[in-house]
Structure 1
Amino acid sequence: MSYRTRLLSIAAGGLLSLSAALASNAQAQGPDLSPTQKDRVRVEKVEAAAKLIPADFKFVTPGKLTVASIPGRLPFAVYANDNKTPVGSEPDIAQLVADSLGLELELVPIAWADWPLGVTSGRFDAAIHNITVTEERKQKFDFSTYRNDLIGFYVPLNSAVQSISKPEDVAGLKVIVSSGTNQEEILLRWSEANKAKGLAPSEVQYYDDEAVLDVALQSGRADAYLGPNATSAFKAAQENKTRQVGTFSGGWPETAEIAVATKKGGGLADAFTTALNAQIENGNYAKVLARWNLSAEAIKQSRTNPQGLPKS
């Protein structure tokens, strides 16, 4: 081999190594959006859960668990790079349940507004997408809980704010929040309570554009952002520009939980709850949450139809 040939060979090998390193780094930094989801947690059938399915229950498709999924934003669910397969934390939870019951998973992408009628009409066996248990919803649906509903305060990495654990901690802070949300209602109540104590109120800021929101936070025009912890935690882990300084129940001061929704009286809820508890006990559930940076929202036990948020 000539000297020139050896140089070309070394250069080519270096480029291949660099390419592999860059690909590996990109994979480490970004979520897996392939439709195959090779790292998705898969489990064995849980006989105790499968036996709780009523003998006369008719699934939408025999042998399959048909689940409504709402692709829109990670970590919950988005379309994979084939533009048709939902992937994310909620499809992973759906897979846990389907595997535990010995069923094949069939995910049906829909809009958020379509899941209630889809479940009650029998178009889907269940809906799994960040659905909070409420007393109003319990009139039409049965629930099997699998995650705490948390909101979180996030600040820039270099912020002097280290902890927000009580209303007094937001006194005088400039806080970004979305209009018409639970977190806005909580923040406004906290600010009014602080004013009543003689403390400085919070300056509440609203941004429709997420990019503008990010700029306001990083430039110091705002001190903190209060929003759904799940999406904020995922974003913080991916971008490494913000950090969490406090979390609270999404129904503060009431406890709020996220659950699988099935048709009221349909007979699936106890089977789903048993399946989820089996995966909580053996550690597979924790692996799913860790995969999507949702460990902070883990529950210790799944429950069927717990107390939900009160009717407004």
Structure 2
Amino acid sequence: MRLRFGALAAAALLLPPALAACGTDDPSSATDKEAVAGSTTAAAVVAKVAKDDALNAQLPADVRSAGTITTGISTVGAPFTFLAPDNKTQIGIEIDLRDAVAKVLGVRAAPTTTKWDSLLVGVQTGKFRVAQGNFGVTKDRLKTYDFVTYYNDGFGFLANPATNQPAVTQLTDLCGRKVGTFTGTSFIGVLQSHEGDCAKLGRQPWKISTYPDQASFTLALDQKRIDLYLRSAIRAQYDAKQQPAKLAFKGTLNSEHVGFVLKKGDALGPVLQKAVQKLIDDGTYARILQAWGLQTGAVSTSQLNPPGLD
């Protein structure tokens, strides 16, 4: 697989977060007016969503009977899932998409908040039916889980502005550089699967370090223990905007499908896909993304299990 450069449009810089298309357990609260405004506007859009009786009739019997879809969620960070100013209420683009889909299906989302790295396990063990955490579709994950996509993200790179790191436009730009990322993300597998690329060019390999939270990797960049930090492209641009003295955005690689995660073969998957597609077709989806300034990540078609990254 060859990873190509693709910069997100300037609109994404206005976002009030990667995982990237990978997901992180990186708590964040709505400390700026843009985030609060985005949430308020999107909530008004979701409030107008009506039940689709035909789709409700297609739900698995246990879901229709219960009237709820158990959902695992984590405080990934703005604009995906994060805390409102009350430090209790979860808001974000994934919350709004989840609630809009539930309303289309005529059920209620019953969320369970947990650590990001416990979400996929929770789906597999049946703790909850669906998980959200800005999870990107990968070939490895597709062996165990089903995905219903609802936007695209990418791989974004951050650096300490004082180090004047060159921009990243292809994967081999990382050769000889120290790269950090969050523990447990899909980024690690991609980097490991291409470890031999630098040797083919006669260059030194990249070195990978992992960090549990934003404070840790920001400190590592500040102390120059790593050259670059890899995370969600959307979140990386947001971070650079919020902390320009500490973080500089250095480019985006690839495009990754992001969506709901279900256990492999769950009959709920195809119905979720139809619900997302209905929101796309009737314009609700576009209005939600616009509220968050996330139009550059929009998709025209929701997919069930699209091809995943290596």
Cα distance in structure 1, aligned partners of 2:211 and 2:125: 37
- SS of 2:305's equivalent in the other structure is coil
Are 2:249 and 1:244 aligned?
Answer: yes
Structure 2 stretches of 5 or more lacking a match?
1-30
- SS of 1:299's equivalent in the other structure is coil
Aligned residue in 1 for 2:299? 299
Cα distance in structure 1, aligned partners of 2:117 and 2:272: 23
Aligned residue in 2 for 1:260? 260
Structure number with bigger Rg: 1
Give, as a single letter, the amino acid of the residue that structure 2 aligns with 1:130.
N
- SS of 1:278's equivalent in the other structure is helix
Q: 1:111 to 1:45 in 2, by over 3 A?
A: same
Q: 1:170 to 1:288 in 2, by over 3 A?
A: same
The CA deviation at 1:97 is 0.8
- Where do residues 280-299 of structure 1 align in structure 2 (5 Å cutoff)? 280-292=280-292, 294-299=294-299
Taking structure 2 as the reference length, what is the TM-score of the superposition? 0.67
Taking structure 1 as the reference length, what is the TM-score of the superposition? 0.67
- Where do residues 208-227 of structure 1 align in structure 2 (5 Å cutoff)? 210-211=214-215, 213-215=217-219, 217=221, 223-227=227-231
The CA deviation at 1:303 is 0.8
Aligned residues: 277
Aligned residue in 2 for 1:97? 101
- Where do residues 47-196 of structure 1 align in structure 2 (5 Å cutoff)? 47=52, 50=55, 53-54=58-59, 57-59=61-63, 62-82=66-86, 84-112=88-116, 115-116=119-120, 118-119=122-123, 124-134=128-138, 137-138=141-142, 141-156=145-160, 163-178=167-182, 181-187=185-191, 192-196=196-200
Higher relative contact order (CA 8 A, sep 6+): 2
- SS of 1:144's equivalent in the other structure is strand
Cα distance in structure 2, aligned partners of 1:146 and 1:214: 30
- SS of 2:79's equivalent in the other structure is coil
The CA deviation at 1:197 is 1.7
Percent identity (aligned): 27
Q: 1:105 to 1:205 in 2, by over 3 A?
A: closer
Residues 145, 304 of structure 1: 8 Å contact kept: yes
Residues 91, 107 of structure 1: 8 Å contact kept: no
Once the two structures are overlaid, the 10-residue window that deviates more, 177-186 or 95-104, is: 177-186
Cα distance in structure 1, aligned partners of 2:239 and 2:175: 26
- SS of 1:32's equivalent in the other structure is helix
Moved over 6 A (4+): none
Q: 1:301 to 1:193 in 2, by over 3 A?
A: same
The CA deviation at 1:193 is 2.5
